[in-house]
Amino acid sequence: MSVEFRQPEGLHGQSPGPGGPSRATDTDPPSLPAPWSLPRWRAYVAAAVLCYINLLNYMNWFIIAGVLLDVQKFFHISDSNAGLLQTVFISFLLLSAPVFGYLGDRHSRKATLSFGILLWSGAGLSSSFISPRYSWLFFLSRGLVGTGTASYSTIAPTVLGDLFVRDQRTRVLAIFYIFIPVGSGLGYVLGSAVAELTGNWRWALRIMPCLEAVALILLIMLVPDPPRGAAEKQGVATTGDPRSSWCEDVRYLWRNWSFVWSTLGVTAMAFVTGALGFWAPKFLFEARVVHGLLLPCFREPCNSQDSLIFGALTVVTGIIGVILGAETSRRYKKVNPQAEPLICAASLLAAAPCLYLALILAPTTLLASYVFLALGELLLSCNWAVVADILLSVVVPRCRGTAEALQITVGHILGDAGSPYLMGLISSALQAGRPDTYLQRFLSLQQSFLCCAFVIALGGGCFLLTALYLERDQAQAQKSGTGILESENQRLIPGRGVPPKDP
């Protein structure tokens, strides 16, 4: 859907007379800005560019996980310190997200996105030249990459929310969020494939900036910065919403119970996907060693087949899951207005036993473990586009950037900022009291994962609570998003209403 606005007559503060236009008088209504418009094809091109950048964004998240064994050997770090790599990345991201959310609600979103891409690509390239003596500098560089990606994860969905509305927004967000699992999977694949081809894992970090330079050029040339709330205000001249302070926005969001409970549900998802995404390739590698299918890795480069398999599994289940979740939501909410949180709750409650069985069956049968792991990933992926649509539908346009930032911050603080480190810490603690064998290392990592099944079930409960408040909060957001302008236009032009919306 293109976003086009037509200026109603008489809104420019001038009244034509017999002698031509006359100057505005003191009694004339104040002038409103010219309507903002964008052709349909431009909106879809912008969406395609944002999807491409989202792909690169999530490749950066998991490219290190694809070569984790090599990184551990290169910098001589244990499981607990390896988990800290992802924790540093996420910690920088969550500290930066509120800043970018504030900037995205008040300043040029396009400039903020461009800065973020420059930051994460520069930090990623620099990290590939760090000596093994300066492992702390590598950790810092991963943090700077996290800071750059925070700008994109916070702001890009709000741009799409201002280009599309209703069913079209659901479809576009589904495509956009497909690139979370696809980018994550390709991060594993690129990292492990480049390490295997070149014999040096650092070349994976040197290829990414080339792709990101293309992304920056496309962003500058093809992506507009639509007025906030543009899609909801079709047919009405776009004016700036009454500006509120950041503290007022935060107070509004914490009183929005749909936002609060869905954020806690997203937090549970982030906890599990963060731990699973970081440790699963190593877990599968050690499972194959236990089954006698591979020899242990004592020096780099290590066998990367499991990273390739897990990456491919993530891509396939991610594409199917996001499309399935978005399409089910689109159809079911025509029958039940609470469809979106109910779909999220059902998928998480079904994913919990799948992940549990994948972990328990790994020492005895790898095939069954892979099957249940794939089902768990599929069910988790069903939610990515749906939770974004929930946020955009229950939050007023003027503070969607802040809402995205707060959801990211809370989700990462309580979710994937600590889960990889926590899993590594538990694994190292369990290993300390056991014989130093590959079987015991594998069992320690397996048992550290078991809490993920419990956490994902809690997330399902949070989405059930979201369903209780959804309709009320959607109605309030829609009224706040359009009612102010409509009432003001009616006040300014007595006897005339707002022109009808385009069908």
Per the structure, the complete domain to which residue 447 belongs is given by 248-482
Per-residue pLDDT, 242: 53
At residue 73, what is the residue type?
K
Residue 378 domain-assigned? yes
Cα–Cα distances (Å) from 373 to 295, 324, 344, in that order, read 23, 18, 18
Residue 27 domain-assigned? no
CA 464, 469, 471, 474 torsion-angle sign? negative
**Among candidate residues 198, 228, 258, the one where a domain is terminated:** 228
Report d(CA 212, CA 194) in Å as an integer.
17
For 459-482, how does the pLDDT look when each residue is reduced to its tens digit (9 = 90+)?
A: 999 999 999 999 999 888 887 654
Residue 319 domain-assigned? yes
Residue 366 domain-assigned? yes
One domain, residues 199 and 88: yes
CA 340, 472, 335, 401 torsion-angle sign? negative
Instruction: Please state the rounded mean pLDDT for residues 489-495.
Output: 34
**Residue percentage of the chain with pLDDT more than 90:** 24
Three-state secondary structure of 172-219:
HHHHHHHHHHHHHHHHHHHHHHHHHHHCCCCHHHHHHHHHHHHHHHHH
One domain, residues 340 and 260: yes
Q: Model's pTM, two decimal places?
A: 0.68
Per-residue pLDDT, 105: 77
| Contacts of residue 393, Cβ cutoff 8 Å, sequence gap at least 6 | 340, 474, 477
One domain, residues 276 and 400: yes
Report d(CA 422, CA 127) in Å as an integer.
24
One domain, residues 271 and 324: yes
One domain, residues 217 and 342: no
Report d(CA 473, CA 470) in Å as an integer.
5
Report d(CA 411, CA 405) in Å as an integer.
10
One domain, residues 103 and 214: yes
One domain, residues 208 and 279: no
The count of residues in the chain is 503
Residue 72 domain-assigned? yes
Residue 9 domain-assigned? no
One domain, residues 152 and 299: no
Burial class (CB in 10 A: 0-12, 13-18, 19+), 202: middle
One domain, residues 297 and 201: no
Report d(CA 263, CA 97) in Å as an integer.
15
For 408-427, how does the pLDDT look when each residue is reduced to its tens digit (9 = 90+)?
A: 888 878 888 788 888 888 88
Characterize 208-230 residue by residue with b for buried, 16 or more Cβ atoms within 10 angstroms of its Cβ, and e for exposed: bbeebeebbebbeeebbbbbbbb
Residue from 238, 224, 234 nearest 159 by CA: 224
The number of domains in the chain is 2
Among 18-27, 45-54, 183-192, 279-288, the range with the most confident prediction by mean pLDDT is 45-54
One domain, residues 108 and 76: yes
At residue 464, what is the residue type?
L
For 135-146, how does the pLDDT look when each residue is reduced to its tens digit (9 = 90+)?
A: 889 999 999 998
Residue 28 domain-assigned? no
One domain, residues 312 and 400: yes
Residue 500 domain-assigned? no
Report d(CA 71, CA 92) in Å as an integer.
20
Instruction: Give me the CATH number covering residue 81.
Output: 1.20.1250.20
Q: Are 67 and 192 in contact (CB under 8 A)?
A: yes
For 162-187, how does the pLDDT look when each residue is reduced to its tens digit (9 = 90+)?
A: 888 767 877 888 888 888 888 888 88
Residue 502 DSSP class: P
One domain, residues 269 and 220: no
**340 vs 277 pLDDT, higher one:** 340
